[in-house]
A = this chain, B = another copy of it.
Amino acid sequence: MSDQTPPRSSYHHGDLRAQLIDAVRDLVETHGPDGFSVAEAARRAGVSSAAPYKHFRDRPALLRAVASEGMDRLRSAMEAARASHPPGSIAAIAAIGQAYVDFARSGPGVFRLVFGLTEGHEEDPHLEEKGFGCFAVVLQAVAAVLGKSLDDPMVQSRAYTLWTCVHGHSFLIIDRKTKGKFEMADEWGFLMQVTASIIGAE
């Protein structure tokens, strides 16, 4: 919608790779991860349908690039959220969760792409590591609250449980499973309460 074929002057595009990623992110958001086509992305970048294959091996590779970029944004958001609250506080953890949910809500397509084991994810350990990097943010915050080390089993367990809740909540929201019957009035309150009840459990 925004940059529909700005007819370039030079034969070489110059910034195709980045522009393709932008276009794909847009398409994934509007048509879903499987509704996107590399041909359409090429069209948006004002380039022939074969051009993308000079920059990406195949369709999954292009999607993986978008997912990777999404992971980076997610991690940044989580870290920023944590930093905006006192270290070692419950609120810091809840804020990470809020950032996670906000990320999902503001870009369901990319969120589904990031977590979702789409085609050909296997051969990308890079992406997997970034995922663990995100989890590490939660892990650190939980360790700080409990006053234990990162690899303490209790820290791992509590952090994982929290992750499942936030992850599940995010999916239920973007998949509209709560529509009508279950509108969340005070999401921050929900996150705080869940965090407290899971962290404080024995």
Contact = CB atoms under 8 A, between A and B. Distances in A.
Interface of A: 32-35, 112, 115-119, 128, 131-132, 135, 156-157, 160-161, 163-172, 174-179, 181-182, 190, 193-194, 196-198, 201
Given A119-B32, A193-B201, A169 B177 contact: no
- In the A-B complex, the 10 residue pairs with the smallest Cβ-Cβ separation, listed nearest first, are A168-B168, A197-B201, A164-B168, A34-B34, A167-B168, A164-B169, A117-B175, A164-B165, A165-B165, A115-B175
Contact of A115 (B118, B177, B190): B177
A78 to B, nearest CB: 15
28 contacts: A33-B34, A34-B34, A34-B118, A35-B119, A112-B116, A115-B172, A115-B175, A116-B175, A131-B177, A135-B181, A160-B182, A161-B165, A161-B190, A163-B168, A163-B172, A164-B164, A164-B165, A164-B169, A164-B194, A165-B165, A165-B168, A166-B168, A167-B167, A167-B172, A168-B171, A197-B197, A197-B198, A198-B198
A115 B164 contact: no
A168 B170 CA distance: 9
A176 B117 CA distance: 8
Contacts of A197: 197-198, 201
Given A175-B115, A177-B131, A193-B201, A182 B168 contact: no
Contact of A119 (B34, B157, B177, B178): B34
